[in-house]
Amino acid sequence: MENKIKGLLLEHSENLFGTQINENIIQFQLTRKDVEGDFTLVVFPFSKLMKCAPTDAANKIGAFLQNQIEEIEKFEAINGFLNLSLKDSFWFETLKSIRQTPNYGYAPENSKPTIMVEYSSPNTNKPLHLGHLRNNFLGYSVAEILKANGHKVIKTQVINDRGIHICKSMLAWEKFSPINDKGERETPSNTGLKGDKLVGKYYVEFDKHFNAEAKSIIEQWNSKNFDGFPKQIIEEFLKFESAKIGKDEKAIQAIEDKIKELAKNQTSLLKEAKEMLIKWEARDPQIYLLWTTMNNWVYEGFESTYKKMGVDFDNLYYESETFLLGKDIVLKGLKDGIFYKKDDGSVWIDLTADGLDEKLVLRSDGTAVYMTQDIGTAIDRFNDYPDLNGMVYTVGNEQDYHFKVLFLILKKLGYKWADNCFHLSYGMVDLPSGKMKSREGTVVDADDLIDEVIEKAAEMTNERGHLEGMSEDAKNELFYQIGLGGLKYYLLKVDPKKRMMFNPEESVDLTGNTGPFIQYAFARINSLIKKANGFSRNFSGNYSISNEEKEIIKILQNFPSVINEAASSYSPALIANYAYELVKSYNHFYQSVKILTEENEDIKNTRLALSEQVANTIHLCLKPLGIESPEKM
């Protein structure tokens, strides 16, 4: 209706306003609850053109629109606002139109350009944790929302399977893994531990020994024992020590942190890890075999967790492969003058003229950094998918600067598609106990958290009852659907840009803005439709529509624009909160009017059809969020 009104005002603007108007001045807003009306047109921009008071302008425009549009029953001018009331028949016809449109709200499949969405992208030195849950659920949901909006979508991840952090886990396993009576070190098969968790255990183990060695070095320096350390390092330490004099506690702490970093770089453990990385890049057979073995343990663990999460991928990229292309591109860019080499042999790019800084792209020892492999990965993807129109990187906001640099480098290398690369930056997830730290082993394991919410969903559902006749397998499936639905919804209902606090108990609550609250509405309507035992869906709607019915139809009518906006802004939160508002409105309707007990068959059929459409729309909301719609709760 808004588009119809807009079209008429543009078509007749010369007669109405004496001039051709710009479409941007035609503005609608929600009608205030204390006045009558279904649509409100803001008239202030027109009153100057019409050279009359806002109320007079509103009355003239209202009379014109009522004469032109049959569905307008009446209008009311209040100051500079025109409130338009539509006939009941309009709302019933709108409901019929919605019901006759398959997957109402979704755009035709593959009707829009191809977009790749990257998410998860874990390191193979630790298991997935709570932060990965927000990342996976967000990336997967954005991919599904883009599909619903008509885009062809490729879901992918780049697996960070190389680098110094991977070598740390490998080295720690070699040095610190106990040997059993069969002469074997710890493996997933002889410990029963998931491969990703076993490797993560040794990442933490490395850090413990690494910090202990650094502490020992600092104690040695403090006792004036500098034997075996380069002159340059000794001078740097003494400079830091003298800088403490006269400083306050905060400044001293900052200096001590620099001393700690200096000591860490002198540890034998870090030197061994760096040597291992150089050997890996040179394809040393022994190192490569160890790397392949431990990574395969991790991949099996990841696959199990992804299945539990309910996410999938169309294609995988491995940094161990793409970094080589990245190195080649950097070396070519060096010849072309895009990059430059420092005296120590490291390769950089100067972005200061663009308001950024100088960025390292190859270390002095020739090994690649994250930027190198990300350059290679991006180019590899566009080579693999020639029809690719854009790429969305789902990565936490601590990497905002990294992606500014990456996209700018790609532009300087001459790749025009870099303009269509987008960093879907999201805030971190905190717990009541504080921030998680992988190196200290204080992360919340993804598998454990999923199991916890499923267990809480089971407790809540068993307390409520309503599970008669369900097999144990069916019950367990329901608990999984509710628990995981609650977890996903809780992490997706918040705007991606915002940092958030996660509370597992709140996530499976049946009241408030939660996944189970919305799932329960779907199950309730499903039960209602079954009790109706077949009803005529060819309703006429020949009665005075209630405000509750009209409100729901208005919300349903808005669903396509919600899908479109969620896709444009990469925000599942818009769909989650739309679903919540729809369910709240339906619950009010359910409690305010008769449905099954309504004696008038046409009214009953209309209300059942409306209920069924609400259920359909709930399902279409939950689907791109990766949440299932249980038929019984």
DSSP per-residue codes, 115-170: EEEE----BTTS--BHHHHHHHHHHHHHHHHHHHTTEEEEEEEEEB--SHHHHHHH
Q: 87, exposed or middle or buried, with CB in 10 Å at 0-12, 13-18, 19+?
A: middle
**Cα–Cα distance measured from residue 121 to residue 105, given in angstroms and rounded to the nearest whole number:** 31
Neighbours of 321 (CB within 10 A): 16
pLDDT (0 to 100) of residue 163: 87
DSSP code at position 85: E
Q: How many residues does the chain have?
A: 633
**Cα–Cα distance measured from residue 252 to residue 249, given in angstroms and rounded to the nearest whole number:** 5
Q: 256, exposed or middle or buried, with CB in 10 Å at 0-12, 13-18, 19+?
A: middle
**Cα–Cα distance measured from residue 58 to residue 64, given in angstroms and rounded to the nearest whole number:** 10
3-state secondary structure of 395: strand
How large is the average pLDDT for residues 62-69?
Answer: 96
Band the pLDDT of 424: cuts 50, 70, 90: very high
Beta strands in 304-458 (DSSP E): 315-318, 340-341, 347-350, 358-362, 388-396, 421-426, 429-430
3-state secondary structure of 372: helix
**Token couple for 391:** 């790429």
pLDDT (0 to 100) of residue 442: 52
pLDDT digits (tens, 9 = 90+) for 203-260: 999 999 999 999 999 999 999 999 999 999 999 999 999 999 999 999 999 999 999 9
Band the pLDDT of 131: cuts 50, 70, 90: confident
Averaged confidence pLDDT in the chain: 93
pLDDT (0 to 100) of residue 436: 40
**Cα–Cα distance measured from residue 465 to residue 461, given in angstroms and rounded to the nearest whole number:** 6
**Cα–Cα distance measured from residue 232 to residue 229, given in angstroms and rounded to the nearest whole number:** 8
3-state secondary structure of 84: strand
**Phi and psi for 115 in degrees, rounded to 5?**
-130, 140
**Cα–Cα distance measured from residue 400 to residue 395, given in angstroms and rounded to the nearest whole number:** 8
Domains of the chain: 2-86 (3.30.1360.70), 157-229+266-430 (3.40.50.620)
Q: Is the alpha carbon torsion for 293, 295, 299, 305 positive or negative?
A: positive
pTM: 0.89
pLDDT digits (tens, 9 = 90+) for 430-466: 876 644 444 444 568 899 999 999 999 998 888 887 7
**Cα–Cα distance measured from residue 98 to residue 556, given in angstroms and rounded to the nearest whole number:** 8
3-state helix, strand, coil in the chain (%, to 5): 60, 10, 30
**Token couple for 405:** 């640099």
**Cα–Cα distance measured from residue 516 to residue 512, given in angstroms and rounded to the nearest whole number:** 9
DSSP run (H or E) holding 28: strand 28-29
pLDDT (0 to 100) of residue 441: 46
The answer to whether the beta carbons of residues 492 and 625 sit under 8 Å apart is: yes
Residues paired with residue 425 on neighbouring β-strands, in sequence order: 395
pLDDT digits (tens, 9 = 90+) for 341-378: 999 999 999 999 999 999 999 999 888 888 999 999 99
**Token couple for 529:** 């439709």
Residue % of the chain over a pLDDT of 70:
98
pLDDT (0 to 100) of residue 435: 46
Closest Cα to residue 290, out of 377, 201, 175, 193? 175
Q: 368, exposed or middle or buried, with CB in 10 Å at 0-12, 13-18, 19+?
A: buried
The amino acid present at 81, given as its one-letter code, is F
**Token couple for 576:** 């989650």
DSSP run (H or E) holding 173: helix 164-176
**Cα–Cα distance measured from residue 602 to residue 538, given in angstroms and rounded to the nearest whole number:** 9
Chain-centroid distance of CA 622 in Å reads: 15
The answer to whether the beta carbons of residues 394 and 139 sit under 8 Å apart is: yes
The answer to whether the beta carbons of residues 535 and 518 sit under 8 Å apart is: no
pLDDT digits (tens, 9 = 90+) for 532-586: 988 888 888 889 999 999 999 999 999 999 999 999 999 999 999 999 999 999 9
pLDDT at 64 over 80: yes
How large is the average pLDDT for residues 484-498?
Answer: 94
pLDDT (0 to 100) of residue 463: 83
Tokens 């050279």 — which residue?
51
The amino acid present at 389, given as its one-letter code, is N
Task: Find the helix packing angle between 572-592 and 601-622, rounded to 10°.
Answer: 160
Q: Which of 30-39, 155-164, 435-444, 447-456 shows the lowest mean pLDDT across its residues? A: 435-444
Neighbours of 441 (CB within 10 A): 15
Q: 589, exposed or middle or buried, with CB in 10 Å at 0-12, 13-18, 19+?
A: buried
Chain-centroid distance of CA 509 in Å reads: 22
More confident of the two residues 304 and 510: 304
Closest Cα to residue 158, out of 131, 123, 196, 130? 123
